[in-house]
Amino acid sequence: MQQEGTDARSTSVEAGRLGRRFSVDDIGLQDSMPSRLHRIAELPWHECWIQQLRAEKKSEHTIRAYEVAARTFSITALPQEVVSNWDGVRSITVKQFHLRIDPNNGRMDAWINGLGNLKPATINAKIAALAHLLKWLGHAVPDWIQRPSKSRSLPKTLGRRELKRLRQAARESEDPLAMPISIILLDTGLRVSELCGLDVDDIDIEDLSALVIGGKGEKDRTVLFTQSTVDVLEAWEPIRESRLLIGADSGLRALFLSSRGRRINPRSVQKMVDRLADAADIPRSRLSPHTLRHTFATGLLERGADLVTIQRLLGHASIATTRIYLEIGDQTLREIYHRAQRSPSLPVDVLDEFPVQEQGEVEVAQRSIE
């Protein structure tokens, strides 16, 4: 009995360092942990959870976002608690943390109340992160948590006139990357991270295709391109070879290299696109690498490509994501119709407002991607 009392006091003191006192009955909460966690019960929870996220092949971006949500939640103090710091909380054991984040102790309520000023999409992302953490620790997300509904904004696309100005700006740019990058993004619908990750070995000129390795969700897929991409890649090749000599790694296989001979990154691509936007007289808010991806998809749809084909070309996990482009087409029609009704006469080039692509680019949607 004395030994049991000593163990209970030890557990109470141990938990008390986190600002909460547990009764003797709380010791039994360890039994509610999933059996899979028993072997790591005495290890730091944070390290174990991060390893679990990586085992699930979550991207580093997702892991960082999950970690931020977990940090703000776990250091949220209850009225009777002393405020804890993150370094202390993340070093406690899985067993201790399982007790700390019990969703029925009021911490969840306090944390949710602190999210009130954030955008619905941000709140939903944080709740999703916390739901993963709770599930991993064997807790259920309380039924009373309601994710706010978010108004879905339609992706931005470029009209024909804007595309013409963009291509002209790329041709006249002093940056040798401007032309190949802008054309390839419009021709393939690649994500900017996928573009930056391309190696020369991923390109099959004869097959007019490229292998995207480790795309979103760590999924590989094949994207198709037209002669437009072949032309800009052939023009880029001698520049790439000269930049290889500048870089520290002459064996680097990256397709696109910076002026320092290093693999380009999404941030440098965005800066280049910003300069093109200025040169093309397009607001920066309307032009990004993702805008070109949306323009690619919308152009295919309006020329008759089916959603399944577009889904596979874009690498969407769910066709529900691709379906939003149907709404873009409908919205474009409505805007043009009402604008024409307000005009004294219907302009001959009214269809110039549609986001379209060159004729050769449409062939992508008609080719097999087996």
* SS3 of residue 291 by DSSP: helix
Are residue 274 and residue 166 in the same domain, yes or no? yes
Residue pair 284/277 in contact (Cβ under 8 Å)? The answer is yes
Q: Could you tell me if residue 144 is inside a domain?
A: no
* SS3 of residue 357 by DSSP: coil
SS3 content of the chain, % helix, strand, coil (to 5): 60, 5, 35
Are residue 49 and residue 110 in the same domain, yes or no? yes
Q: Could you tell me if residue 149 is inside a domain?
A: no
Are residue 30 and residue 167 in the same domain, yes or no? no
Residue pair 183/170 in contact (Cβ under 8 Å)? The answer is yes
Q: Could you tell me if residue 148 is inside a domain?
A: no
Q: How far apart are CA 193 and CA 175, in angstroms?
A: 20
Instruction: Kindly list the distances between the CA atom of residue 242 and the CA atoms of 19, 247, 249, 261, 280, in Å, as whole numbers in the listed order.
Output: 61, 9, 13, 9, 29
- Specify the residue for token string 């000129």: 205
The half-sphere exposure of 98 on its side-chain side, counting CA atoms within 13 A, is 26
Q: Could you tell me if residue 154 is inside a domain?
A: no
Are residue 116 and residue 171 in the same domain, yes or no? no
What's residue 69's pLDDT? 92
Are residue 26 and residue 132 in the same domain, yes or no? yes
Q: Could you tell me if residue 318 is inside a domain?
A: yes
Q: Could you tell me if residue 37 is inside a domain?
A: yes
- Specify the residue for token string 């709770």: 134
Residue pair 290/299 in contact (Cβ under 8 Å)? The answer is no
- Measured over the CA atoms of residue 232, residue 237, residue 239 and residue 243, the dihedral's sign is positive
Helices 178-188 and 266-279 meet at what angle, rounded to 10? 100
CATH of the domain at 241: 1.10.443.10
Count of structural domains within the chain = 2
| Domain termination residue (choose one: 97, 121, 136) | 136
Q: Could you tell me if residue 224 is inside a domain?
A: yes
| Domain termination residue (choose one: 82, 102, 136) | 136
Helices 289-302 and 266-279 meet at what angle, rounded to 10? 70
Are residue 90 and residue 54 in the same domain, yes or no? yes
What's residue 234's pLDDT? 95
Residue type, 175: D
Q: For 299-327, what is the HEC assignment?
A: HHHHCCCCHHHHHHHHCCCCHHHHCHHHH
Q: Is 182 left (phi over 0), alpha (psi -120 to 50) or beta?
A: alpha
Spell out a b/e string for 49-82, using b for 16 or more CB atoms within 10 Å of the CB, else e: bbeebeeeebeeebbebbbebbebbbbbeeeeee
Q: How far apart are CA 134 and CA 111, in angstroms?
A: 14
Q: Could you tell me if residue 141 is inside a domain?
A: no
Catalytic positions: 191, 216, 290, 293, 316, 325
Q: Show pLDDT as tens, one digit a residue, over the chain (370 residues).
A: 444 444 433 333 333 333 333 333 433 444 478 888 899 999 999 999 999 999 998 888 899 999 999 999 988 887 777 777 899 898 999 999 998 888 888 888 888 878 877 888 888 889 899 999 999 999 888 777 777 665 556 678 888 899 999 999 999 999 999 999 999 999 999 999 899 999 999 999 999 999 988 666 567 888 999 999 999 999 999 999 999 888 777 668 999 999 999 999 999 999 999 999 999 999 998 899 999 999 998 888 877 788 888 888 888 888 887 877 766 655 555 654 565 555 444 344 433 443 444 444 444 444 443 4
Are residue 239 and residue 358 in the same domain, yes or no? yes
Question: Which residue range(s) make up the domain with 104?
Answer: 2-136
Identify the bridge partners of residue 6 per DSSP, sorted by sequence position. Answer: none
Are residue 183 and residue 118 in the same domain, yes or no? no
Are residue 177 and residue 269 in the same domain, yes or no? yes
Are residue 197 and residue 234 in the same domain, yes or no? yes
- Specify the residue for token string 């710091």: 85
Are residue 105 and residue 166 in the same domain, yes or no? no
Are residue 115 and residue 259 in the same domain, yes or no? no
Instruction: Kindly list the distances between the CA atom of residue 36 and the CA atoms of 29, 31, 70, 101, 138, in Å, as whole numbers in the listed order.
Output: 15, 12, 21, 18, 10
What's residue 303's pLDDT? 79
